[in-house]
């Protein structure tokens, strides 16, 4: 009985080794009798929508050594340390690590140094190509593109978000060795090729990005502001044409030794940070009122409604005043179009309260406030929108003109686009295509319609009013003769520790053209400008500069009279 049991146990062990453990034992044998030199996969490129390269690779090399195969450690260490700019002791210590089958001596070594070392044919020393990531345009769109770690792995931005496409798969060269790791003479090396990463074509337009960065850098300097930001997108499908976050940094000279600075400069604030939008938010309030009026909702204020000339409203016992109280004593009755021109807060208080909490929140949700826009970029904030059940009249009144609500710049830009493009809300996108070096497309993004906000008729009426803001109202500094520019200014006070920060403002302007068929929309934000701080005087001129540049780049003809 015992003999039968032992025989069965032997058979079971034999079966386990032959059938189950086989692959693992084969790998161990291969590892014992071979040594590998990695063949690093080329990282995919990042390009703009027209093929301009934004992230590329430069040839460099890694230096490896097998201590058991090094025949002259002293001489080899002397040559390596001189060529690699390393200390003799460090290199010598690596060459003497006989407990390891292979050690990395140096990475990212220039080609010239490797060629000089190859001429000496150092026993036990090997070289493998190991590319270095380079960014031809330095700081351009740095927060969007992102950067890689020292080992070439995507760390931030699109470099990280599309790592699985960009990285590729490394290969290797296998050498037969004896038990102590010395290469066997006349042995044939086995080559397993690397699979290079795929290229990623973005929706960004390098020319518009560079233009917008130049304009915003000038605004940052002249206004001595804390920060300057801009988004340019195509309202027909929400393709992002430019994203500017200043101050910025050079992707070829990353401040890795100062993590606090690096984290601040590499953050895409347009997607991740929130702020009170102020009067630019009135676009949404106006759109909701016009749409409800067209639907026959008696709560909506008609287009010809004349708002009271009173410069303030009392809501829940607290006054809400028009900004003109702080400028001059004049105030008159006005229509919705005039209220947009004058950016009169009390008029939008009237609209929000007339529509009521439930109805107004339906539009806030349709415009995706308090929700992600769906952009293909990590770290997106959803903003801050009070839960509908907790909103009091005072809150609702202030939301109507852009207070008591916090949004990301991207949310506001998308909402404005969805209000004036016929009412269509798309998921904004930064990536257009993923393709291999041979030109084969592996993934192509298409515009993704998320929903409707308002009707085409409402959108056209609102756009006509916003064209009047630029032609006759607070947005005059965005006016361009011969081109139908529309938009809305905004000036919002900043809060610190729950209180108004005296003398600190965010100046903004969101505009687009042509007003009758929007193709280019820009949101400009200047954070804490010194001196003049109104969106009409600080931000609107920047948008005009960007639009003029786009007109030149795209050779856009003047509108017919």
Cite the active site residues: 279
How much of the chain is in helix, strand and coil states, percent to nearest 5? 40, 25, 40
Strands (DSSP E) found in 285-435? 312-315, 318-321, 424-426, 431-435
CA dist 226 and 398 (Å) reads 26
User: Cis peptide leading into 514, omega within 30 of 0?
Assistant: yes
- The token duo for 156 is 């931030």
Looking up tokens 């067209």, which residue turns up? 294
Q: How does DSSP classify residue 189? A: P
Q: What is the dihedral of CA 65, 70, 72, 75, to 10 degrees?
A: -10
Contacts of 36 by beta carbon, 8 Å cutoff, 6+ apart: 102, 172, 173, 174, 175
Strands (DSSP E) found in 14-123? 34-39, 46-47, 53-58, 61-65, 103-109
How far, CA to CA in Å, does 561 sit from each of 421, 471, 509, 531? Answer: 22, 15, 26, 38
142 neighbors 251 (Cβ within 8 angstroms): yes
How far, CA to CA in Å, does 384 sit from each of 243, 260, 370, 378, 426? Answer: 22, 25, 6, 18, 21
CA dist 485 and 387 (Å) reads 36
- The token duo for 343 is 């950016």
Runs of H (alpha helix) within 85-227:
88-95, 111-118, 142-145, 157-161, 163-166, 206-222
Looking up tokens 């792995």, which residue turns up? 153
Residue 62: which of 151, 134, 129 has the closest Cα? 129
* 234, burial (CB in 10 Å: exposed 0-12, middle 13-18, buried 19+): buried
């Amino acid at each position: 009985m015992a003999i039968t049991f032992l025989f069965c146990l032997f058979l079971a062990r034999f079966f386990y080794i032959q059938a189950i453990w086989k692959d693992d034992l084969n790998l161990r044998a291969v590892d014992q009798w071979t040594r590998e030199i990695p063949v690093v996969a080329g990282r995919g490129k990042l390009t703009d929508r027209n093929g301009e390269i934004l992230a590329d690779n430069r040839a460099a090399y890694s230096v490896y050594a097998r201590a058991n195969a090094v025949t002259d450690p002293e001489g080899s260490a002397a040559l390596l340390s001189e060529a690699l700019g390393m200390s003799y002791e460090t290199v010598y210590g690596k060459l003497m690590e006989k407990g390891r089958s292979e050690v990395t001596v140096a990475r990212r070594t220039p080609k010239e140094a490797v060629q000089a070392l190859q001429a000496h044919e150092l026993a036990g020393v090997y070289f493998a190509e190991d590319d270095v990531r380079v960014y031809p345009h330095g700081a351009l769109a740095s927060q969007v593109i992102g950067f890689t770690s020292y080992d070439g792995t995507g760390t931030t931005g699109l470099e990280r978000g599309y790592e699985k496409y960009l990285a590729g798969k490394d290969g290797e060269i296998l050498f037969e060795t004896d038990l102590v790791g010395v290469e066997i003479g006349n042995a044939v090396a086995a080559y397993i090729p690397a699979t290079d990463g795929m290229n990623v074509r973005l929706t960004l337009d390098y020319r518009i990005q560079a233009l917008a960065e130049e304009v915003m850098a000038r605004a940052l300097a002249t206004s001595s502001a804390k920060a300057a930001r801009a988004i340019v997108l195509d309202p027909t499908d929400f393709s992002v044409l430019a994203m500017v976050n200043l101050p910025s940094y050079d992707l070829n000279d990353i401040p890795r030794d100062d993590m606090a600075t690096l984290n601040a400069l590499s953050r895409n604030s347009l997607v991740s940070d929130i702020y009170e939008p102020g009067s630019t938010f009135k676009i949404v309030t106006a759109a909701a009122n016009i749409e409800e009026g067209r639907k026959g909702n008696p709560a909506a204020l008609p287009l010809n409604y004349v708002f009271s000339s009173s410069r303030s409203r009392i809501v829940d016992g607290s006054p809400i005043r028009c900004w003109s109280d702080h400028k001059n004593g004049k105030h008159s009755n006005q229509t919705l179009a005039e209220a947009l021109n004058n950016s009169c807060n009390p008029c939008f208080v009237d609209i929000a309260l007339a529509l009521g909490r439930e109805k107004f929140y339906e539009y806030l949700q349709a415009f995706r406030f308090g929700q992600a826009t769906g952009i293909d970029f990590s770290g997106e904030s959803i903003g801050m929108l009070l839960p509908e059940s907790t909103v009091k009249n005072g809150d609702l009144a202030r939301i109507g003109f852009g207070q008591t609500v916090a949004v990301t710049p991207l949310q506001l830009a998308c909402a404005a686009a969805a209000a004036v493009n016929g009412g269509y809300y798309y998921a904004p996108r930064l990536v257009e295509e993923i393709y291999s070096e041979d030109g084969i497309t592996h993934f192509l993004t298409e515009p993704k319609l998320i929903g409707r906000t308002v009707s085409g008729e409402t959108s056209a009426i609102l756009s006509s009013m916003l064209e009047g803001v630029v032609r006759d109202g607070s947005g005059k500094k965005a006016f361009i003769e011969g081109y139908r520019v529309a938009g809305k200014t905004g000036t919002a006070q900043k809060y610190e520790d729950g209180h108004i920060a005296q003398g600190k403002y965010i100046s903004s302007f969101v505009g687009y053209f042509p007003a009758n068929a929007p193709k280019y929309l820009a949101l400009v934000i200047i954070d804490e400008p010194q001196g003049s701080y109104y969106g009409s005087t600080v931000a609107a001129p920047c948008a005009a500069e960007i639009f003029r540049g786009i007109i030149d780049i795209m050779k856009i003809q003047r509108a017919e009279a």
